[in-house]
Each structure stands twice: as structure tokens, then as C-alpha cells.
Amino acid sequence: MAGGAPPSSGGPPVSSSSSSSSSGLPPPPPPPKILLAKPAGAAAAQRLGREDDSPAVVHRSRNAAQPGSLNLFSESWEFHTDRILPFLTENSDFTVIGIIGPPGVGKSTIMNELYGFDGSSPGMLPPFATHSDETRAMAKHCTTAIELRVSAERLILLDAQPVFSPSILVDMMRPDGSSAISVLNGEALSAELAHELLGVQLGVFLASVCNVLLVVSEGIHEFNMWQLMLTVDLLKHGIPDPSLLTAVYTQHSNSGLDKENKGNDQATSEEFLAAPVFVHSKLQNKDLAPSNTLLVRKALLKFFGSSSFKVNNSRTSSLNKMAEDLDSEQPYLFLLPMKVQHNLRKPQFESYLSMIGKLRDEILSMNGHPFARNITEREWLRNSAKIWELVKNSPTIADYCRTLQGSGLFRK
């Protein structure tokens, strides 16, 4: 499935031959396309290791109307259920992978890799926009709210806007310093406080609706994202498993099954958290030394020792071998080196391309945290909209906001 060219303005068609002959210029090239879902094919299935997509699903998705963007939210941060729904199916064999991190750490690049975009098709833009020289020069962000893409292998990929982002803060700020975005029950807040809370809300939302959540930081000594995820763990109380928030499900289930699961619903409704994968990107070669890697892993285990962000991995990946003697319940940790130009290449422990490939393979082979019940993609979307409303109206997050207001760190 690939996004088509934008619709015409509605006027009569103009012959390209007559147009080019009258102006003496060749016809303009077609506009670039944006991939909203990956084209099906043997190569794609082989790359991601799954070949269970039916031709009917692929054909229907390819011919669906493709907007230029699939964002979960409107400009006023209302959930875009109706807009996203046509791109999802009644399939229940899917995986939701989200990503969160500060600006410029390579989030969209990682998501494009998980999607399987190789850039070999001419005139095809990547599914997730990445930084250009212009956006870097203007210090602008590429992603607003949460962009969604769906692969042919039914991976639902969620690329969140950057946290701790000056350009996001500027966009949120009114001339009087208040926030233009209502992030908490319509309460008027300063832009700085609203920006802080929005990052927490995005973290809580992604941790609540994803099977796997990638948490990306830049450099080996940057731990702000670790602190944010501890905050997310503390404030997620009362946000249930999305598969347990469904009236639609009960219409397709018999009442006996619902009664049988009722007790389990109570027990697990507040226990779901996405499986975390902590990624540190743009590392110097010295940072990738085995001794440094082991120190970072030990620090990660100690930092999250009392939190809910633990993954029980029965197997140890090639990137986790140095922690075999540590606790078997541990968050995933991946270290990515900086991209090095070919003419400046020096000996490395491992190249960026090799490591990003390993990251892709490990993420796609992860089990993640399953939802309590099997639900379809469309049920997941509808229930995610309900989760977002619970996050916006969370009394726990409201109490946290009042604590920040009373701390004197933010303008009132």
C-alpha cells in the first residue's frame, strides 16, 4: 500500500503532450508519495519474517484513499478514530510498537527501519518524516502529536512528537505565556507546565496502548528519558488494559465467557504496561566498549529496580549477553553508534547499519506484553480513544500537575 498523488483540483484534464509542446518544457515529474503502509511482497515478508497477510487485505489497503498523513489526533488533540478506522481491519493478530524520545535522536529513522523502508523506490518519501537540512537549521520538529503507519505484516507503528522539545514549546505558547493547547480538563496552564504534562500524558498513553515501547535517548550519559518513564510508571494508575475497555467485544462474546473473565478483568485492569526497550543513539565508539555497556546496563537495572518496567526474557539476545549474570527480569537495552561517513570511517566495535539491523530484528522477534484479551485492530483503535480520554482526565495526573504548580518551577 502506498499513498497516491494528491487529488486534482477538479478542472478538466490537460494533455501532457500539448502542455509541454506549448511551453517548450518537459512535463513536471509526479509529486512524491508518502508510504502509509508497506507494499506487500515476498521480499518484504522475508525481511520481517512474517508471511501471513492475505492478498485480500493487501489489495483493499492498497486501493484505499490515502491522506498525506495518518495522525491519531487533530490540532485540538481530539482522537481521530473515524479517519484512522479505514486503514485497520478486523484482524486480531497484530502488534503495536510505539516510540518516544527528545528531538533529533533518530526516532523516525528507527520506525522507518521497523517498517521496512529501504529508500530504493524513486520519488517515494519515507513513511515517517525525518530531519532535513532545513528543519535542522530552523530547529524544527518533524512529527506533531502521534503519526500512525500500518505495515503489511500488521505492525501498528506509533511515532510520537518529541518530548523536551523547544520547538514544541514555542508552538504551544501564546504571547502571554499561557498554553494554546488544553492538556488537563480545560484548565488554563502556562505553556511550560502544559508542555511538561503533555510529555507525561504521551508517555502514559503509549505505555497503555502499545505492546512494545521504544524509549530513545541521545548519548550514553543522558538519563532524562529514564526519569520520564519512572514518572509514567507512577502516574499510570487507573488506566486499564485497552482490551478490557470494550463494549464491542461483549457483543461478539457469549455472556458465559464474559462472566468467566469478569474476575480477571478486575485483577489485570491496572497491570498492563508496554514492554520497554531503552535505546541510546549517536554513541561514540568508546561508549560501545563492553565495559561501558555493562555499566549502563547495571545502571538501568538499578534505576528501574522497583518499577513496573521489567521484561522477563527467557532468551538473551546477542546484544544482552554481557548481562547474563544479572537479573533475568530486565528491560531491553540497545546502544546505537553514530552514523559515520564512508570517507571518514574508522575502526568500530560495530557499524551503525549492522546495529540498526540487529535492533530491527530483535524488536520484531520480541513477544512484547500481550493484551489481556484478543481484540481486533479496530477495537484497539476505539479503545485507545477511550484510553486517551482517561489519560486527559486522570485525577493522578491532575494531582501531579498541582504538585508541579506548587513547586515554583513553573509559571502559574
Instruction: From first to last of the 412 residues of the chain, give the pLDDT tens digit.
Output: 444 444 444 444 444 444 444 445 555 555 444 555 544 333 333 333 333 333 333 322 322 333 457 899 988 889 989 999 999 999 999 999 999 999 988 899 899 889 888 766 666 777 787 766 666 566 566 778 899 999 888 999 999 999 998 888 888 898 998 888 888 777 788 999 999 999 999 999 999 999 999 999 999 888 999 999 999 999 998 899 999 885 433 433 444 334 344 444 443 445 689 999 999 999 988 888 888 888 998 999 889 888 887 644 433 333 444 344 334 445 789 999 988 655 455 656 678 888 888 999 989 888 789 999 999 999 999 999 999 999 999 999 999 999 998 887 777 6
Distance CA 153, CA 13 (A): 37
| pLDDT score, position 254 | 40
* Dmax (CA) of the chain: 75
Cα 404 versus chain centre, distance? 27
375 CB-near residues (< 8 Å, 6+ apart): 92, 242, 243, 246, 249, 383
* Amino acid sitting at position 10: G
Q: DSSP H helical segments within 210-319, as ranges?
A: 224-235, 247-251, 255-268, 290-303
SS3 content of the chain, % helix, strand, coil (to 5): 40, 15, 45
Name the CA dihedral angle for 148, 149, 154, 158, rounded to a multiple of 10 degrees. Answer: -40
Give, in order, the Cα–Cα distances in Å from 42 to each of 50, 55, 121: 10, 12, 16
| pLDDT score, position 274 | 93
| pLDDT score, position 162 | 92
| pLDDT score, position 394 | 92
Q: Which of 200, 178, 180 is nearest to 189 (CA)?
A: 178
| Angle of CA points 107, 112, 116, to nearest 5° | 150
Distance CA 53, CA 166 (A): 41
Distance CA 177, CA 159 (A): 28
Strands 155-160 and 146-150: antiparallel
Q: In what order do the strands lie in the sheet with 332-337?
A: 146-150, 155-160, 95-100, 212-218, 275-283, 332-337
Q: Which of 362, 303, 307 is nearest to 332 (CA)?
A: 362
| pLDDT score, position 64 | 32
Is pTM beyond 0.85? Reply is: no
Distance CA 221, CA 223 (A): 6
> Helix, strand, or coil here: 293?
helix
Strands 146-150 and 95-100: unpaired
Q: Which of 251, 214, 349, 218 is nearest to 291 (CA)?
A: 349
Q: Which of 155, 77, 145 is nearest to 111 (CA)?
A: 155
Distance CA 373, CA 76 (A): 31
Is 147 within 8 Å of 71 (Cβ atoms)? yes
Q: Which residues pair with 280 in a beta bridge?
A: 217, 335
